[in-house]
Amino acid sequence: MSGKSNGKRSPKKILRCYDVDATKPDCDKKSYRLVLLPNGIRALLVHDPESSDHDDTMDGSDGGSSEGEGSDESGSEDGSEDGEEGSDAGGGGRDGLKKAACALAVGVGSFSDPPQCQGLAHYLEHMLFMGSKKYPGENEYDAFISKHGGSANAYTECEYTLYHFDIMPEHLEGALDIFAQFFTAPLMTAASSDRELNAIESEFCLSKNNDMMQELRCAAAPPRHPYRTFTWGNLASLRDAPAAAGVDVRGALLRFHAEHYCAPAMQLVVLGHAPLDELEALVERCFSKVRAAPAAPPADAAAASSSAAAPPPFQPQVLTATVDGRPCRSLSFEGAGPPLGGQGEGEGKGGVLLHRLRPVRDSHRLTLAWALPPQARLYRSKPGHYVGHMIGHEGEGSLLSLLRDRQWATGLSAGIGGGGHSSGTYGALFEVSVTLTAAGVAAWHKVVEDLFVFLGMVRGHGVLEWVHKELQAVSEAQFRFQEEEEPAEAVAHLASMMVPSNGLREEHLLSGPYLMDEWRPDAVRNALARLTPAAARIDLFSSAFGCAAEEDPPAPLSGAPDRAPLVEPHFGLEYWVDELPAGVVAAWEAALARWEGATPLPEEGVLVDPKSDKRLRLAPKNAFIATDFSLRPLPESTEEAPGAQLLEGGALAGLQVPSAPPPAPTVVWEEGAIKVWHLQDAKFRQPRGEVYAKIVCNDAAGAWPAARQQGLVDLAARLINEHLTEFAYMATVAELHYSLKATVYGFQVHVHGFSHRLPVLLEAVLTAVLGVGRSTDYPAQNAFDTQKEALMRAYANAGLKPDKEASCNITTQMEWWPLKRAHTGAGVGCDKETGAMFNRSLHVTTILCTLRKSSATASRLALLFDKHYFDREKAAAIADATLEDLRQFLREHLFVGGVSIEAAAHGNITQEEAVQLGRSVAAVAAAQAAGLDAQQQHVDRRARRLPRAAHLLHCAAARDPTQDNSALESYWQAGEDALPLRAALDALEALLEEPLYDTLRTQQQLGYSVACGVRATGGVLGFCVRVVSAAYPPSELLARVDAFLAGFADQLEAMTPEAFRPSAAPACADALAGFADRLEAMAPEAFRQHLVSLAQNKLQPDNALCEVAERHWSEISTRRRHFSAARDEVLELQSVDQAALVALCREWFRSGGGGGSALPRLTVMIAGGAADAAAEAAAAAAAAGGGVTAIDDIAAARASGEWYPVLIGDS
């Protein structure tokens, strides 16, 4: 705890630490204070003035009280077809309070698991949500958080565990009081502990069929290294293995908590609207009872088992220190050494080893990894970043360009990953990963040789300070102009940065991830020196392994040998391990040494490999690095943000809403077939810009069969992206990004980043797109072959898992939410191998984002849209497509009938610049001979009108025969989008989501993923419930969902009208006692709070320019153009009453939909594991008692039926 103090010591024994507030960037308007509590918790307090613009005027607020119910696990997705987490799909008029948030990181993770209880740290993370002595209800925490518009989540890393939540600011104190009990007196009852093991198993099963290369590395680590830990946990490791060893798992949980969950090991971040002094007092009040030192296990833990779980094989060093008498504690695994080079199964060999893996998906990938010393202390120089930049650049003359030219690879990345398996106190792994073609698999050893040639060149050129200065300039700009994060994301990030294993000094808690103010050429040379053939861990993935011998690529050790594979014990991956021939390794050594003793050339010099068939050169100086960060002056006519007004009467009486709609984009240039919208940013005032453009092609639905046409457009988008790679990569390094997506109408372009160089990149992208059919020899044969192979592989992989992505490309705006704020904020956990986001429990912002891409969802959309095609249909349609077929399509069909272009510019862009954008687009179109057609008809999908009162059922087997998970997705179609219907459905969702999750997931343990949410499909509103389970077949899932929904209707109907009216009555004590009857016992104020929280979430202010731009673009691209949707939806919530909701529930759920329900229903079931699809369909139909119509042929069903008209907003 070093550095200057920002104040004298508190008389309440709280120690003020370094003045973190002095280190924030100018754009950050928050205030910070770092303190050390008397018990040793280090807390970062954050005051956000933007969350306190208005006084709290809601009557009947329960403030810091702890009553609550319902869990708000939902939200709504954006209007984009890929539904990115946290994005906002439209609507505006938001001027509400920002949420408060809290995160706490404990300095212990999965590396400290006992060997007989692997996964224990992760298991404990789950159990802390299951009640405490002060708040014993298993769902009490989640219910309180969601009742007040928040979200909660946690994740377990290798060396720390992090818990976080967000909530409306007036309820922060109540949430903190419940949250603090996690670390003071959790219950972890025997009943809940046994039940939650099923959730751990379900989570494991959801990831079981992933290609878990990380687990193979863990299995091959040195015997006592913590890297060998099975960090996920499952029934085998947390029930069976402990039982065999005589270990009581609950006792082990209690011991683990007692030993590691003490104040000196905790880092706390609290963000709120209260002044820092109040936050400081609040934190001390809530967390002062967390014990100040490790404790003996509770008596019941000692009595529960006669055998204690053994400590981990490697004992980490416990680092302790005192600051003004306060203890600080952290664990270090530095003594464990590097994690590579162990003796895993089949590795009793002395040379360089090749690990060949047969992946679940159709893929080819080569990965090389090297162990480096711990990198945390080098955060001010980041040598790994330098080396990764040099190897991984994709510009002209790069290693990737050479491999692409040889048709061996389609992608390459290099660097040190961000997860605990990539970097920690034990050391770090530097990885180079190459996405191979089939030819690249055959030539994999030559790919490695080219890599070592390039590595030798990096060494031969010398360590270049100007490269470091470029990277430093970009990092400094990122820090100076960083965009605001969601409150929950912000506190989680800060808490993780405070963990001692990250090595950040207090003065660098805010800037550390961006800091590169030290030039350490010695550290760069040290890292480069370790990247040798002898030290490499080599993993080769290929779906060709295990095929017949004649199908195996003819290359050294490329095909699977004539012996049974080894099997990874947890995930079941098959692999082989072989020692490489000495000649292969010698060739690599020679390649690396080729540049030894070379004289470094001047900065602009080019090193040419005389033995290569193409010039290789290092990354040149980057012309895209922004130097002009000036802000464009705002016009005098700039609209001010609207003021606030108080609502009167109704359930939302006293709520503040914007008094007028917010500033909205306007059309500033329209000429012929080009239209440009514009809104200059007056809120965030950063030198950033966001430009979207949709390019509508006349033949997008015409001369070719639709599936073939869509497949060819997908392929064209891939080829354009490959063509742009060398040019655009340097822009990406400089924080200037673009994306190009194929859509049902043509293409969508998005360019964003620092506004200085943005027009240059935008023009290049549009030129590439609009000129795609101009050349008779575009694309080249090798590019066509490579990208078609990659696309066909992506198509083949789509839909292999019921719960994972089933659409590998973007086809159109398929579904978007009613345009409201995601009102639970996307709680996420960290995937233990990849760092990818997955959902722990509640929040539909993430869950239904995944839901859209599941195979169940793909089937549902294929039954609801007239132009929706499975990827396998597109694959079949273009399987025989040749290079000349594609060239003919690009020349004679894609743009030949003309195009129309609609664009939107947001941010640090003036109206004059937006007008110039329109002129530039027209000039590019003219130069590329892409004709413009002002009469272009937009290609829209129509939504199918399901037969009234029908229950349609489609059941299919999982495409992956090894898939254990089954999925259920049940959808009720409510009708055309309208504000009253939107408001009623949103209210229903707010009431339904928590009891649905608590009943089906927590109590009945149907599966790890349970969710519900409103859907807007082609302008038609509906409601969806989804469950993924490895424990039950889909017919059982359907029966459980229907039983719950029927009961929920009864509970809602039994509520009294007073529950919908404002009341100052105290909350019902029964709700605090256990949530036994969530809705029947709900107090009037508790029910009102659900609607208030829903409204407050809709009014959550935007955090960054990208959110505003994406939301507005959704409204423009769908032509709904309802820019004030959020405000209008809140006003409409005023009219929601009990009778309407009761009628809606009775209409939908009384008999489970169909056979009595007035609303049509569509259910899709994916049968995994041993479940038989036909038998499951019959069982579901029989359980429904008739009235169910089975759909066996989706194509035939799609070709018939009644359709809604194309539903769009005002044009």
For the domain bounded by 353-468+519-546+564-593, which CATH number is listed? 3.30.830.10
Question: For residue 838, is pLDDT > 60?
Answer: no
- β 100-106/266-272 pair status: antiparallel
What are the CA-CA distances from residue 506 to residues 478, 510, 574, 1020 (Å)? 20, 9, 46, 52
The first and second tokens of residue 920, run together, are 């530039």
Task: In whole angstroms, give the CA distance from residue 450 to residue 432.
Answer: 12
CATH fold of 664-816+842-928 reads Cytochrome Bc1 Complex; Chain A, domain 1 (3.30.830)
Q: Residue 1154 — pLDDT band, cuts 50, 70, 90?
A: very low
Amino acid present at 274: A
**Beta carbons of 1126 and 856 less than 8 angstroms apart:** no
Using only C-alpha atoms, what is the Rg of the chain? Answer: 29
- Mean predicted confidence (pLDDT) in 548-554: 40
Burial code (b: 16+ CB inside 10 Å, e: under 16) for 963-972 equals: bbbbbbbbbb
Q: Is the pLDDT of residue 814 over 50?
A: no
CATH number belonging to the domain at 100-288, selected among 3.40.190.10, 3.30.70.3270, 2.102.10.10, 3.30.830.10? 3.30.830.10
In this structure, of 590-594, 1066-1070, 1186-1190, 1195-1199, the range with the lowest mean pLDDT score is 1066-1070
> Is residue 1153 pLDDT above 80, yes or no?
no
In this predicted model, what pLDDT tens digit does every residue of 41-68 receive, in sequence order? 999 999 998 765 434 333 333 333 333 3
Strand, coil or helix: what is 397? coil
pLDDT tens for residues 132-183? 999 999 989 998 998 899 999 999 999 999 999 999 999 999 999 999 999 9
CA 12 from chain centre, in angstroms, equals 41
**Alpha helices, DSSP H only, in 798-941?**
844-852, 855-864, 871-878, 883-889, 911-927
**pLDDT-based confidence at residue 305 (cuts at 50, 70, 90):** very low
For residues 774 and 37, the model is more confident at: 37
- List C-alpha distances in Å: 34 to 5, 20, 172, 276, 510: 10, 7, 19, 10, 12
Average pLDDT of the segment spanning 6-34: 82
- pLDDT, average across residues 420-446: 96
User: What's the pLDDT score for residue 1090?
Assistant: 84
Of 443 and 937, the one with more pLDDT: 443
Percent of the chain with pLDDT over 90: 54
* Residue 1188 near residue 1180 (C-beta atoms within 8 A): yes
Q: How confident is the model at residue 84 (pLDDT cuts 50, 70, 90)?
A: very low
What pLDDT was estimated at residue 181? 98
Rounded Cα–Cα distance for residues 588 and 703 (Å) = 52
Beta bridge partners, 968, equal: 1027, 1165
DSSP H helical ranges for 261-316: 276-287, 299-304
* pLDDT at 78 (0 to 100): 31
CATH superfamily of 951-1052+1071-1104+1121-1200: Metalloenzyme, LuxS/M16 peptidase-like (3.30.830.10)
Separation of alpha carbons 179 and 175, rounded Å: 6
Task: Give Cα 967 distance to the centre of its chain.
Answer: 21
Render pLDDT for 513-538 as a digit per residue (tens, 0 to 9): 999 999 999 999 999 999 999 999 99
Tell me: pLDDT of 812 over 60: no
**692 has pLDDT over 70:** yes
Q: Do 100-288 and 951-1052+1071-1104+1121-1200 show the same overall fold?
A: yes
CA distances from 1139 to 974, 1042, 1049, 1135, 1145 (A): 17, 22, 12, 11, 10
- Residue of 1169, 1206, 1172, 1176 whose CA lies nearest to 1190: 1176
Residue 546 to residue 359: CA distance in whole angstroms: 11
Query: Residue 1057: its pLDDT value, please?
Result: 40
Helix or strand or coil: residue 724? Answer: helix
Rounded Cα distance between 831 and 840, Å, is 10
Going from N- to C-terminal start, the domains of the chain cover 100-288, 353-468+519-546+564-593, 664-816+842-928, 951-1052+1071-1104+1121-1200
pLDDT tens digits for range 233-281: 999 999 999 999 999 999 999 999 999 999 999 999 999 999 999 999 9
Distance, CA of 573 to CA of 220 (rounded, Å) = 14
DSSP three-state, residue 22? helix
Read off the pLDDT of each residue in 554-570 and give the average, rounded to a whole number: 70
The Cα–Cα gap between 622 and 390 comes to 13
Backbone angles phi, psi at 791, to 5 degrees: -65, -45
Upstream peptide bond of 947 is cis (omega within 30 degrees of 0) = no
Strand pairing category for 951-957 and 1161-1167:
parallel
Do 542 and 441 meet the contact criterion of CB atoms below 8 Å apart? yes
Q: Which two three-digit tokens encode residue 371?
A: 């162990």
Distances from the Cα of 1194 to the Cα of 497, 948, 1088, angstroms: 50, 19, 43
Query: What is the percent of the chain where pLDDT is above 70?
Result: 78
